[in-house]
Structure formats: structure tokens, C-alpha cells
A and B are shown apart, each in its own frame.
Chain A
């Protein structure tokens, strides 16, 4: 219950093509995250899956059934929005029950399902309140509850955590992860935050300019990025890109090395350089260097280190963790 196939989905607004042929397979029970910079088409793709936008061409199948002409309410989906989108004039209980009521479900059944969802999300004390009387985190839980109550084949999340503050975001993220484990439901989640993507997903779909750059598990994307875009997008701080010719490598155009794969030493190493700036984060120390061989370099050291600007240091990359990219920015395997 709850698989999704997309075949060459295209979507254009006038002459502006937003989705340029998306092929994707989501298996039952998978947690798939669409990630990409703003304007890459990830939200549009989600709205096409939901049926809120019509695809210009291509086919959408949910559980093997063609959905192109099915209205959103009949697709067996539920959606959680960034702005919560709760009905302001209804109580929490009625907000959660409205979809079922519209579908003609019996009142007793609606009550059981709402009670179950509100118990799951600890919303019981708020059932009689209106959205205006709730905090941001509570509102988003109500929105998630509204989705759970429908018992959909597919959960769709459109940047659900973007409006929450940092602490609440982590907490709600954990709740969503727990929910996925308990419900074993298929979830599709859109975000521009790579931390959310890495922590929640079974499978990440990296989108850029309306096309899929790479699909894979979080660790696949981290360890084997297919191209420069994915390599730069996944991982924080960003991967260092060094023109290959500076390092004397003629078989590649760009060499990528993650900040955490570089060791620093005051005595000796491959690249000599000067410290420009240091960020002390407690668990990590981020050091920015200017080296003669590579230009600007970001280095991430674990723990606390007493480097200061203008120190002369030597950087040594971990040879086994280098990424090499060809002239078309594709990874050389």
C-alpha cells in the first residue's frame, strides 16, 4: 500500500519549463526526500503528485493506478504545508476530521481516528481550541495529525519545519521520524535543508533546475556524489573544490575534498598555508586557510584546537577520500 511511479513528468508555466522529465520510483514504506536549492522545482513536483497542479505531460501512478485525471481528494494522499494551512474557523478536532467528514465517513469512526492521532501527537488537551490559540509547534502537529487521520497511501510534506524555530525543528524532526517508524507509511518530503534530508530520508532525490541530479541513500550521496552539484550540496561545510591542474592531476578537471577529510599540522604536510579565520564550535573547529597550492581551503577539525589567524600550517588531505570530477563535472569512478 503506497508505492509511487513517476514517468517523464514535465511541467511548464507558459514558456518556463519547471520540471524537465522526472522519472522516479518510490517503494511502499519508503521515506523519500526531495532536496535542492530554491526554484529547483521540488515543491512543484510535490504539488503535481498531490494533483494540485496538472503535469504538462508524463504519468503518475499511485499503487499502479494512473492518477492524471484523479482529483486530489481521491488520490489517497495527505499533505502537510509549510504554513500549516489550518482552517482558522474550526477547532483542532474539526480541522483533523474535516477530510473524513467530506468523504462521508461515519462520525464514530472519525472520532476514533482523531482520538488516535491526537494521542500520538499529544494534542489531547488542545482538541477544543482554534488554531489561533496554538503555538507554531502545536499548529504543525495539528497539521500532521490532520494528515494521519486520513490514513493515506502517501504522506506529502512541503517544507513542514521551515516556519519553526531551531529547537522546535529538531524536536518535530524526531517526531516525524518516529511517526514514519510507527506508521510504516510511504512519505515524500520536500526541504531545502540538507540536515533534514540526511537525518530523515531512506532515499534522497537531489533536484536542480527541474531535473534530478542524483538519487540515493544519504550515505551514498555523501560518499559517492555523482557530480559537482551533489558534492557541493550535500555536506556542511561545503566540499572544497580545487582545479586539478594545480595539483598536477591531468586526468580530471576538479578535485573535491571534504573539510573533514583534511588533517592540519604545524610542522609538515602537503599544502603549506596561512590561517585566515577560525570558527570555534566546541565539538568542531572550522579553520579557513589560504594555501599556495590550492587557494582558499576549509578544514573541519573535531574537538577544540588553538589555531589563530596568521598561523602558518600544513594541510594534508586523506588520499582515499578524494573526489575526482571530469570536464562535464561528472564524478570519475
Chain B
């Protein structure tokens, strides 16, 4: 930032506010991580303290890795999240392209109908969804979760992507048509690369609620073979006794994959932003 435009006092206040927010946001993560490395008594006696040689313990991680099938749970969560994101991005982008590019009867109405999904929570339909899944024989499969999450993610994806696709130059698409590119080629080879930052944004917005969801795994796929990490961690929370070491360790581990995905997408996001700015 140029010196002429920023007063030092103002800059200090801005940084103070940002640092304060960062601390607030990171505190639960910090607490989870720190306490996952402590013995049970240390968690309760000094919840804020860092692990010392006397309180350090890996008992939580041992429990998690030995009890139950956590690797399997991780796999399930990853499969469900990655496949759902892929489907949401593919179908969302296609629908957004159709809505932004073609003039057809009912275009606006269709756009509004699809946007309705943003305002109405999908959980209101849980009973009907469960009935449908039972009828289709999909209960206790990952497919049921992927279907529900794809439906859940599509409205926002279509809404964001269609706005971005409207900004892609018409001339570029026209040039493609004159050069004999098919509509699919125009979509995949000209438009998609240009809206990549928007795709990354949508991927992040879609990913986090899916990864963290407890509701649908609990209702649609509670079987041992299809448990996700969030659901798996619940087995350590009992009505009377909660194995905090195990819960905190499971949650700490659950942060990792989602962090990796986030880093991948956010790099795309930043690259997209700068490549647009430096014309």
C-alpha cells in the first residue's frame, strides 16, 4: 500500500481488529489441538495450558486409531466430499452456462427456481428424503449422501457461477463459434478456465458444510461401513461418559484433509485473481 494513502494510526487499528478476529477464530482450533495431546486429568485441571512432558499423552490418538475403523471413516468422508464437489461443480457450471448464455422461454423463472434452494434449508425435507432413499434401496450407502449433498450444493453454485459467466466476453464465445468449436468445447475450453476463481470459491463453500455435516450421515448412512468422520467421532461422546481425549484427537485429525483441500482451492483462487488483474 502506498504511504500517501494510509495513515499509520488507521493501519494500526485495522491490523488490531484483524489480529483480534484471527485470535477469536483460531482459539477453538488451538484448544482442540493442544488438549488432544494431553492426558485426561490434564485436560480438566488445566484446559488452557500447553502440554508439558508430564501431561503429554498420545492416548487420544491411540484410542482413535485402535478403536473403530477411523481410516475407513476418513475414506468415506473424503469420497463423499470430493465426489459431491465434483458433481456440484460440473452440473452447477453447466446449468449456470445455460442460464447465462442462452435465451429461452422461462430462463428467468428457472434461475429463480434454482436460487430458491439457497433460501430453503434442505433439512426440511429430511423425512421425504429418507422415505425416498428407503424406497430406492440407498440407505446406508455413500451414494445417498453424495446425492443429497449434490442437491444441497447446486443452488449456490449455480447462483454464483451464472453471475461470473455473464462477465465472460461474448466476443470470445462468438470467435469460438466462428472457429467451429462446439458448444461443449466453448464451455469446457473457453468459459470454464476463465471462471476458475469462481469455481474455487464455490468448491470451498460447498466443501466445508459437507465435511462437517452430522445430520445426514446419522439419518441416511449410520452403518459401520459408511460412517463419516464426524459421525465416527460421536461414538466417543456418551450420554454419561465422554472420552474427551479421543473426541479431541478425532477432531484434530479431521481438520487435516479439509485443510489440504482448502489450500489447493485457495491457491487456484489467488492465481485466478492475480491473472485477471495483471491484464
Can you name the residue of chain B whose Cβ is closest to the Cβ of A83? Answer: B171
Stretch at the interface among A74-82, A211-219, A240-248: A74-82
Bound complex: CA A132 to CA B169 (Å) = 15
Q: Does A72 make an interface contact (CB < 8 A)? A: yes
Bound complex: CA A187 to CA B176 (Å) = 20
Contact of A87 among B172, B275, B278 (CB under 8 A): B172
A156 to chain B, nearest CB (A): 9
Contact of B279 among A50, A85, A132 (CB under 8 A): A132
Chain A residues contacting B189 (CB-CB under 8 Å) are: 87, 89
Bound complex: CA A98 to CA B176 (Å) = 9
Interface string of B142-171 (1 = CB under 8 A from A): 000000000000000000000000000101
Can you name the residue of chain B whose Cβ is closest to the Cβ of A13? Answer: B103
Bound complex: CA A81 to CA B181 (Å) = 17
Bound complex: CA A88 to CA B279 (Å) = 11
Chain B residues contacting A132 (CB-CB under 8 Å) are: 275, 278-279
Interface residues of B in 257-279 (CB under 8 A from A): 275, 278-279
Chain A residues contacting B15 (CB-CB under 8 Å) are: none
| B179 & A50 in contact (Cβ 8 Å cutoff) | no
| A103 & B174 in contact (Cβ 8 Å cutoff) | no
Q: Does B178 make an interface contact (CB < 8 A)? A: yes
A141 to chain B, nearest CB (A): 15
| A88 & B193 in contact (Cβ 8 Å cutoff) | yes
Bound complex: CA A87 to CA B178 (Å) = 13
| B180 & A103 in contact (Cβ 8 Å cutoff) | yes
Bound complex: CA A177 to CA B179 (Å) = 24
Chain A residues within 8 Å of B, Cβ to Cβ? 47, 50-52, 71-74, 77-79, 81-89, 98-99, 102-103, 132, 146, 158
Bound complex: CA A130 to CA B279 (Å) = 12
11 A–B contacts, CB within 8 A, in A order: A47-B174, A52-B177, A73-B179, A73-B180, A78-B178, A83-B172, A85-B171, A88-B194, A99-B179, A146-B179, A158-B171
Q: Does B23 make an interface contact (CB < 8 A)? A: no
**B174, B177, B194: which has the most chain A beta carbons within 10 Å?**
B174
Chain B residues contacting A73 (CB-CB under 8 Å) are: 177-180
Bound complex: CA A71 to CA B174 (Å) = 12
| B180 & A81 in contact (Cβ 8 Å cutoff) | no
Interface string of B173-203 (1 = CB under 8 A from A): 0111111110000000110011000000000
| B169 & A85 in contact (Cβ 8 Å cutoff) | yes
Q: Assign chain B's interface to a size class.
A: 10 to 19
Chain A residues contacting B176 (CB-CB under 8 Å) are: 87
A152 to chain B, nearest CB (A): 9
Chain B residues contacting A87 (CB-CB under 8 Å) are: 172, 175-176, 189-190
- Decide: A89 near B193, CB < 8 A? Known: A50-B178, A132-B279: yes
| B174 & A102 in contact (Cβ 8 Å cutoff) | no
Bound complex: CA A88 to CA B172 (Å) = 9
User: Is chain B's binding surface mostly helix, strand, loop or mixed?
Assistant: helix
Bound complex: CA A103 to CA B178 (Å) = 11
Bound complex: CA A99 to CA B185 (Å) = 13
A139 to chain B, nearest CB (A): 11
**B174, B175, B177, B180: which has the most chain A beta carbons within 10 Å?**
B175
Chain A residues contacting B172 (CB-CB under 8 Å) are: 83, 85, 87
Bound complex: CA A87 to CA B190 (Å) = 7
A303 to chain B, nearest CB (A): 43
Top 7 nearest A-B pairs (CB, nearest first) are A73-B180, A99-B179, A102-B180, A85-B171, A81-B171, A85-B175, A85-B172
A151 to chain B, nearest CB (A): 14
Chain B residues contacting A98 (CB-CB under 8 Å) are: 179, 181
| A81 & B175 in contact (Cβ 8 Å cutoff) | yes
Can you name the residue of chain A whose Cβ is closest to the Cβ of B174? Answer: A52
Bound complex: CA A301 to CA B279 (Å) = 44
Chain B residues contacting A158 (CB-CB under 8 Å) are: 171
B235 to chain A, nearest CB (A): 48
Bound complex: CA A73 to CA B183 (Å) = 12
Chain A residues contacting B179 (CB-CB under 8 Å) are: 73, 98-99, 102, 146
Beyond the given A81-B171, A146-B175, please list 4 additional residue pairs across the A-B interface where CB-CB is below 8 A.
Answer: A73-B179, A74-B180, A79-B178, A87-B176
Bound complex: CA A102 to CA B175 (Å) = 13
| B174 & A85 in contact (Cβ 8 Å cutoff) | yes
B190 to chain A, nearest CB (A): 7
Bound complex: CA A78 to CA B193 (Å) = 24
Bound complex: CA A98 to CA B180 (Å) = 9
| B171 & A102 in contact (Cβ 8 Å cutoff) | no
Bound complex: CA A52 to CA B180 (Å) = 12
Bound complex: CA A63 to CA B208 (Å) = 59
| B174 & A50 in contact (Cβ 8 Å cutoff) | yes
Chain A residues contacting B178 (CB-CB under 8 Å) are: 50, 52, 72-73, 77-79, 99
Chain A residues contacting B180 (CB-CB under 8 Å) are: 73-74, 99, 102-103
Can you name the residue of chain A whose Cβ is closest to the Cβ of B182? Answer: A102
A60 to chain B, nearest CB (A): 15
Chain B residues contacting A99 (CB-CB under 8 Å) are: 178-180
| A102 & B177 in contact (Cβ 8 Å cutoff) | no
Chain B residues contacting A52 (CB-CB under 8 Å) are: 174, 177-178
Bound complex: CA A295 to CA B191 (Å) = 56
| B171 & A72 in contact (Cβ 8 Å cutoff) | no
Can you name the residue of chain B whose Cβ is closest to the Cβ of A47? Answer: B174
Bound complex: CA A71 to CA B177 (Å) = 8
Can you name the residue of chain A whose Cβ is closest to the Cβ of B176? Answer: A87
